[in-house]
A = this chain, B = another copy of it.
């Protein structure tokens, strides 16, 4: 079943030093464009849906480049408006082994998206045309104007019978000191509007201030997710637990709470090429499973493998097709397809 799935959020320019050099050692940068919304809508487009990005890009060559890139990913650009002069950027220096990767953001609050006024968008028309809308907690951290746009779009989509997906994605550096306090009411408002929420026990504890006397992550999850689902009336909650086995080897275990029941996927372990954006692959997998009426077991397995594959591709944006994911679920490692 193919749906019309849109995301509202910022498009950022990723500027990555090739290889393992630092910005001070290097001379060239590879650039691409991404963002949670871009990642999710591109991923669902690869899974057979129609993906739309709702955003604002600057009216200059940087915006043109972002536009071309988004189109290349197969995202329909018709809900993107062009205004302003800035795009959020982040510089990425690859770590190696014990030396961590380093992300440096710049130019964020001044971006076209974060300064665009509401009349820049046609929320009503969009709400009528789409089936699913995706939001994320990064956007929620930006400023009052963007927060207000987010909430009114969510309401419009719901009013037109669409579904709302919300990824908590709490980033401490964006909310600053005392951030959880500032964030709580905004998160709660979004949770009340959502049909599918991406979160884990940390979000429940720190943002929603829920208590648990369990020590282990999984047990905290078992404790807290039912309360969250109940309190905010959320049909489906999903997320992952990551373990860093060694510098470039990670393990991931997906979970999903639905119909009063918490389902865990088999954990997977794998070598990591590029971990940015892998969580968005998980979201797209859960969404795809739900749309197609997969069993919870199949959905979490599918989403976990989608996330695993996203760690093995260059760039933030997942590129696996449904077929690639099923192949990886069913087979042991191939070394060469020919």
Contacts and interface: CB of A to CB of B under 8 A. Distances in A.
A273 B94 CA distance: 12
Number of copies of chain A assembled together: 6
A26 B173 CA distance: 32
Contacts of A206: none
Contacts of A338: 90, 102-103, 105, 171, 173
A214 to B, nearest CB: 23
A201 B61 CA distance: 33
A68 B103 contact: no
A249 to B, nearest CB: 9
A104 interface: yes
A64 B98 contact: no
Nearest to A61: B23
Given A61-B23, A67-B24, A314-B20, A98 B309 contact: yes
Interface string A306-324: 0011011111000100000
A294 interface: no
A271 interface: yes
A28 B267 CA distance: 36
7 contacts: A18-B28, A26-B65, A27-B31, A62-B91, A95-B335, A100-B334, A276-B336
Closest A-B pairs by Cβ, 3 of them: A97-B271, A103-B338, A72-B72
Interface of A: 15, 18-32, 60-62, 64-65, 67-69, 71-74, 85-87, 89-91, 93, 95-107, 110, 171, 173, 244, 246-248, 250, 270-273, 275-276, 308-309, 311-315, 319, 328, 333-338
